[in-house]
Amino acid sequence: MRRIQDPAFLIFVLAVSAAFAWIVLPLFGAILWSVVAAILFAPLNDRLLRAMPRRRNLAALLTLLVIITVVVLPALFLAALLLQEATNVYARIQSGAIDPATFFVRFQAHLPHWLTGLMERSGLSDFAAVQAKLSAGIAARFQSLTAQAFSLGQSAFGFVVALGVMLYVTFFLLRDGKTLSARIEQAVPLQADRRTALFDQFITVVRATIKGSLVVAAVQGVIGGIIFWALGIHAALLWGVAMGFLSLFPAIGTGLIWVPVAIYLLVTGALWQGIVLILCGLFVIGMVDNILRPILVGRDARMPDYVVLISTLGGLEVLGFNGLVIGPVIAALFLASWKILAKQPR
């Protein structure tokens, strides 16, 4: 391990590094996702380099075009559709075309007597008050989402700038990524074997998080949305996105969406729709994770589910959407560093 001979210079390096981090903090998300994209699509870039070994710029540019075509454009299209559908649902609630109170009454009418009696004994017999709170809560939630969407539209210029920075940095990371990573690895004041282990773990977890979590979440969301659409359930796109998001959490999963909807269909008389949704939820949506994740990631790269859940929830709470990647990465580095420490001779 390299020793720092001049403590004053080390303090200067840390101070300058902190100042640089402060300067680029507004673009932290763009830089993070450029690193993620470069790591995820590095194998494709390497294949192109083997086909054209002296044309690094062209290989990086072609890889970037693939990223734009496969990831960026579909994500923007989905976001536009989601915003449109959320706005339409909110407008229907405001106009009375969708009345949550009516759904509540229909649900109440099909409840068994023992459950109705239990709710009465629990102090939940005032259905009018519950209906009012439910209607107000759902309306307030959609109003909040609409306000956030309007705020996002107002900051469209900032989003375009961040997207441009992300793509720009991704190009150079694809082109010069190996050189940059080698320099960073050499600069870290750790023994060579520990540096290699930590860097390998970092790359493995980033790829596992994207391929094993976001890709699986996207597939489950798409399948769930298609099933909801086929069954004639309103706002299938919103439900599909919700299932995709919840599938990121191992202990929660898509069942938090399709199970209540299936129960509602059953108790309101839509028996075959409810049965079909239960079967699809168990044997189609639920099996995607068990089948697809080992193929994309492999079982050796997986962390315990409780660690994934805690780190993902904590990352989301602290860092927002960026925490989907940073939370599991920090958890994986935490586990790897303690594993290395445990192997040290006593």
With a CB cutoff of 8 Å and minimum separation 6, the contacts of 3 are 189
The per-residue pLDDT for range 202-231, each reduced to its tens digit, is 777 777 777 777 788 888 888 999 999 998
Of 23-37, 181-195, 212-226, 291-305, the poorest mean pLDDT is in 291-305
Distance, first Cα to last Cα, the chain: 19
pLDDT tops 80 at residue 70: yes
pLDDT band at 284 (very low <50, low <70, confident <90, very high): confident
Mean pLDDT to the nearest integer, 224-252: 84
Q: Break the chain into its structural domains and give their ranges.
A: 26-187, 191-341
State how far Cα 266 lies from the chain centre.
31
Residue 37 to residue 74: CA distance in whole angstroms: 15
Dihedral sign computed on CA atoms, order 177, 183, 184, 186: positive
Of 6-10, 24-28, 309-313, the poorest mean pLDDT is in 6-10
With a CB cutoff of 8 Å and minimum separation 6, the contacts of 44 are 63, 66
Give, in order, the Cα–Cα distances in Å from 274 to each of 189, 267, 279: 59, 9, 9
Cα-trace Rg, the chain = 25
> Residues 236, 225: contact at Cβ < 8 Å?
yes
Q: Which residue has the tokens 């900032």?
A: 158
Q: Is 87 helix (H, G, I), strand (E, B) or coil?
A: helix
Residue 265 to residue 234: CA distance in whole angstroms: 13
pLDDT band at 87 (very low <50, low <70, confident <90, very high): confident
pTM for the structure as a whole: 0.68
Please give the pLDDT value at position 104: 60
At position 139, the amino acid (one-letter code) is: A
Give, in order, the Cα–Cα distances in Å from 38 to each of 207, 266, 283, 322: 10, 47, 35, 16
- What DSSP element (H or E) covers 311? helix 305-319
pLDDT tops 80 at residue 185: no
Closest Cα partner for 144 from 155, 152, 132? 152
